[in-house]
Chain A
Amino acid sequence: MKYAFWPGCVSKGACPELYDSMILTCAKLGIELEEMYDGNCTGAGVISEHEPKLADLLNARNFAIAQKMGHDLVNICSTCQGVQSMVQEKLDRDEEYRAEINAQLAEEGLEYKPGLVIKNFMWVLVEDYGLDKLKEKVVRKLDGLNCGPFYGCYILRPSRILGMEEHPERDHYLEQIIEAVGATAVQYEGQDKCCGFPILTNNRKNSLTQAGTHIGSAKDQGADCLVTPCPLCHLNLDAQQPSAAEVIQRELNVPIIHLPQLLGLAIGIDDKLLRMNRHVVGTQAVLDKVMAAVEA
């Protein structure tokens, strides 16, 4: 099992704990990653908002790089997935447009051929790796840990470009993975809503009200932490959580765990290596529960 690995900019910047935990977890699971060092930012939907063709060119370049490496592409960001799926749909559907794009990639010796498999790590786990195999790797069953899934918008919507016809359960994978590692998936209002990140700079109050409300509703349902496959959601839910708590005027204090960190804990990777201490909202309560389950 080998993938062309697109880490995304956030895991290489503000969320290094995501990058580290992804690398360690995959190594232990036996998923080989070949990093796309020369890949460029997907544009996070911001570039396509203003310059759609440019965004298509940039993403086609990434696709072609992955194809040159000869592997399926794996990403670890809901936003990356959304942008990549959107561009791919356009390119695969329209041969003429694809030729136009490829003409510009040619100077770098690159070409995008339709049909590249692009999967978020969450999809890879369920569809390629398999939950049964994952269960076998679990050495610390996360019994008693209540996790609220938080998907992030772009890995759920628009569903027509996200392979939901072929894989109708993709909007339940997080719950399935959480259960597979022995934890309990907590259902709550807001798990498939927006964390508010994109408007943080221009409407801070609305953005933080959204983040805070979802965290609060998960807490009301008994969640010890939230688990997300998207570092951008993580930023709004974790780094901004104290401010969000102020805005909605309630105490929150709910750790926000990256998906690979959750797996890492379950398959026995040291929490310091997973950089569980690199969160704004401390994760000690989660670690205590994990350890309590091991000792029991």
Chain B
Amino acid sequence: MKVRLKVKRHDPEAHGGQASRYSDYTIDVPEHITILDALLEVRDYHDGSLAFRYSCRSAICGSCGMRVDGRGRLTCKTKVTDLVKTEGQEILVEPMGNMPVIKDLVTDMEMYWSKMDQVTPWLQPADPGPERENLVSHEAMLDLAQTMGCIHCGVCVSDCPVLEIDKSFIAPAALAKAHRFVDDPRDAKTKERLEELSAVKGGIWDCTRCNMCVEVCPKDVRPMDRIMQLRELAVKAGVASGTGARHGEAFVDSVQRLGRLDEMRLLPASVGLWNAPRLLSEMPGALRMLRAGKLPWNHALPWRKPIAGIKHVRRLFDRARREKKEASS
């Protein structure tokens, strides 16, 4: 089949406006090939100057991450036919985002590794260590195994929208890795780790839960789910005092009380109605909403009616919580 590629080029040594440009290639290849195969075809037979990184070609080494059709992907795991739906459709290949480009499709992973470093990605066992080897249950390792599947391709970091606007964000891969150590029964620094991850700039409460990393990760690490686990562990360990945690509690309480959400508490514009400093900082937003009729002030009245089935909703709350308590005791 004929495949049309539009490839972003970057030559740091080029002068003038030539540093970044696009090259178009049309190649004739078998249908089953991957994006990486297609790039190899280009490099070997059409344009030897095209630079990209790869090694195993089997979704193991994590070298071949790029942005294809606007999304981070492992190119040796993405087939051309996954993307080309209509004959002659062009495939756009660019280097990963959020990281500097060294040449063409090769990104500088320095920032990726420094974030990895930031979460102390090794076990810190109790001192003195155990007399003999640690015995760990299968259950305890199950969740961790998924995170250990990370091949450090950087695709999630490439596409994380928070990192785009805040370089201090520790970003999905390293936070997922942090969970792998926080939740490891052999690690003795659980609380310290959680404190750090909660308090540090760019920590676990800065994730917007956008699911982008879950979507793009080729190894199903689901970094965002790991970040949510970290949040829950932080709340449990009593180290999460930020608004993120409080916000969650207020929300859940309201559903228990009314069966519905009480925006007067959830809505950021009103988060501090009973908290003067907070209220002042949110004042412009709250006033704007009030003026547009968007602040449901009547919802704050104590006699706001819950839904008809509220007693059943509350029963579900009680049951789930009792079970949870029993499970943990």
The residues of A with any CB-CB pair to B shorter than 8 Å are: 9-10, 12-16, 37-41, 43-47, 49-51, 53-54, 57-58, 61, 82, 104, 107-108, 153-154, 156-159, 168, 193-194, 196-204, 206-207, 209-210, 213, 235, 239-240, 242-243, 278-280
3 nearest CB pairs, A to B: A157-B211, A194-B210, A9-B261
Cα–Cα distance between A278 and B316 once the two chains are bound (Å): 36
B294 near A280 (CB under 8 angstroms)? yes
Q: Which of A10, A50, A82, A201 contacts B261 (CB 8 A)?
A: A10
Taking the closest CB of chain A, its distance from the CB of B165, in whole angstroms, is 5
A199 near B323 (CB under 8 angstroms)? no
15 A-B pairs in the complex with CB atoms less than 8 angstroms apart: A37-B308, A46-B251, A49-B209, A50-B252, A51-B252, A54-B320, A107-B312, A108-B309, A153-B210, A194-B210, A201-B271, A206-B165, A210-B162, A235-B267, A239-B289
Specify the chain A residue showing the minimal Cβ separation from B236: A50
Cα–Cα distance between A159 and B299 once the two chains are bound (Å): 35
B210 near A193 (CB under 8 angstroms)? yes
- One digit per residue, 1 when the CB lies within 8 angstroms of any chain A CB and 0 when it does not, for chain B 283-314 equals 01100110111111001000000011100110
From B43-51, B106-114, B115-123, B239-247, give the one contacting chain A. Answer: B239-247
User: Which B residues lie within 8 Å of A53 (CB)?
Assistant: 320, 323-324
Specify the chain A residue showing the minimal Cβ separation from B312: A108
Specify the chain B residue showing the minimal Cβ separation from A196: B208
A280 near B248 (CB under 8 angstroms)? no
Specify the chain B residue showing the minimal Cβ separation from A100: B323
A193 near B308 (CB under 8 angstroms)? no
A201 near B247 (CB under 8 angstroms)? yes
Specify the chain A residue showing the minimal Cβ separation from B299: A13
User: Which A residues lie within 8 Å of B323 (CB)?
Assistant: 53
Q: Which of A46, A204, A206, A213 contacts B248 (CB 8 A)?
A: A46
Cα–Cα distance between A218 and B293 once the two chains are bound (Å): 26
User: Which A residues lie within 8 Å of B292 (CB)?
Assistant: 239, 278-280
B165 near A209 (CB under 8 angstroms)? yes
Cα–Cα distance between A27 and B292 once the two chains are bound (Å): 26
B247 near A202 (CB under 8 angstroms)? yes
B251 near A47 (CB under 8 angstroms)? yes
Given A15-B294, A58-B316, A200-B268; A240-B285 close (CB under 8 Å): yes
- B194 in contact (CB, < 8 A): no
- B321 in contact (CB, < 8 A): yes
Cα–Cα distance between A235 and B28 once the two chains are bound (Å): 49
Given A61-B316, A201-B271; A14-B296 close (CB under 8 Å): yes
User: Which A residues lie within 8 Å of B232 (CB)?
Assistant: 49-50
B243 near A202 (CB under 8 angstroms)? yes
A58 near B208 (CB under 8 angstroms)? no
- B235 in contact (CB, < 8 A): yes
Specify the chain A residue showing the minimal Cβ separation from B232: A50
B161 near A10 (CB under 8 angstroms)? no
- B255 in contact (CB, < 8 A): yes
B211 near A201 (CB under 8 angstroms)? no
A201 near B243 (CB under 8 angstroms)? yes
Taking the closest CB of chain A, its distance from the CB of B273, in whole angstroms, is 13
